[in-house]
Structure 1
């Protein structure tokens, strides 16, 4: 299947006005690589539906939506042009396409020009532009169906559910909705969902006033809140017998305590006071991936932390952490290493390290290669591990 890579270059329009639904979209140009033509513009696509799909290789729902978009493009080739848009580098997108070939058009928007034209914080984000260049909707990829395309093409009335999206950054959300005085010593606020915000937790680790004694959660289900309260057990280390399912309600909460050691016990107590769930820890035999040192020379080349500043940053394909142990790193691999099973630390090393790891989740061999460069490897073993069991 032919791979088409587009390098996005917006035409010389500075400060393009953000269009609203039903308004004309300002013209923009894209420079095409490995395509029948070297460039195109929105106006050159006049007469076709144009679907801009904002995505990233580290975004699992985005990658999962690609086959759907590919199928739409193939079935409606005369009526539809799909253009995927990301702010990642051409090199990274090239790596992705090597392992997941696609005939969709891929655009690079490192300047974030199109992203500023259609502002959003949550991806995937789908922009649908009509044959006449009018903005039809900003929605989600699963809402663009064969039936919708057929109806639009036949000028039939349709209702396209918009994607709710708060365009504030996480710090701006905190300042707007969760502002508290620096002198606050105790606080527990719990409410329903914040429509359009991401599902995240913020431990305020870089806040000199609230570090280790404040936790804010946005749009998380009850089971996730219990996992956080019970020492941060991941979904892979929990057994959900609640029957709440994927459509369970989500909550926002903000908790502040006087001392760091009070944070999780207080969160447990507040959850147990409000909800009728039972949580217990039980050992169970599981097949796990054990992190081991395979090359001591390479392992010694990993920078040892000297600054004392601890940071955690991780997502699918990238882990960057400072002043962390191998046990911390094993947990990051379990959460973001594109593996289905559990990861435990078997290195026996408790030094504080500065770790930077980059790999391609779509390539099964990429992670083992990246670990090998650090002198590390994963070995499958059967072990007893503690599991968090949640039930009514």
Structure 2
């Protein structure tokens, strides 16, 4: 059975983008910046909008396209409509139920992938889905959104790590790679699972696991080799390597207690990972993922480095504000983060228009090349 045709996937992307827009406005409201009422009203669920509604929709949609079955699209539909219900101020339990359902669909899809190919990277992807499911269940049962955040971060980090791990098979075999990956993943999972029992210690262990995972990615990922290439291949590698540095900073801040709500390093720990690491991955992989999902062409252009540079500069400003305990710097950093996302989206839209005008013979090879990821 084939999946949804590309035009039918667009409404799911629109739901995800609506969650992104509202989540960004909610994040600005948390910084004390005046935003439209519909964004300010969601300040308390900023993390749910960004992770469950936006990333949940995008990740489950990508997985559904890969599985090529109609049932897989129930995942992005559930996550997208869950975000819409949050925006419309529906009772939280309804949206929470949809997020639980979306995570279950993602987990079932992950099991199907494991049946096709049982490997360390497919197990890691499944563990990422488990983390999302556990976080959603925790939020549903206890209404403790803050307690769900480590599980949600685990969902994003393990999903990305699993996809990166898959590509290490193109490198010469290194005996230490798999055992060390298992060790750092177990450390992060142990901290996450220990958090509901002993929050302070569990969050510190979780931070240590993320720091160790960042070091593993910097050492073993194929991005180090691809940084010596040209064009899109090099751009993706730069995105990845810079993102790993932010993951390391976030893990280090978490190890110092930054994952605890109210800690002076909380904003640094959270956004080094959720913005610096995760969005660097988004910027790098968008020219590959969006064409696969929406069947559009996004030819590489050196301007792609502009939103990436803005991402790092704006986040550095925000982190500096957190370290200096300066609300003004954090606010300017938050506004610059928002502008960065706007520049990135505009860049992708212009690229799609450019891609539509590219002659077919050139288009076939525009985003291809050895060692693409």
Shared fold, TM over 0.5: no
Q: Quick check: which has more Rg, 1 or 2?
A: 1
Relative CO higher for 1 or 2, CA cutoff 8 Å, sep ≥ 6? 1
Q: Provide the TM-score with structure 2 as the length reference.
A: 0.29
Q: Provide the TM-score with structure 1 as the length reference.
A: 0.28
Structure with greater strand share of residues: 1
Structure with greater helix share of residues: 2
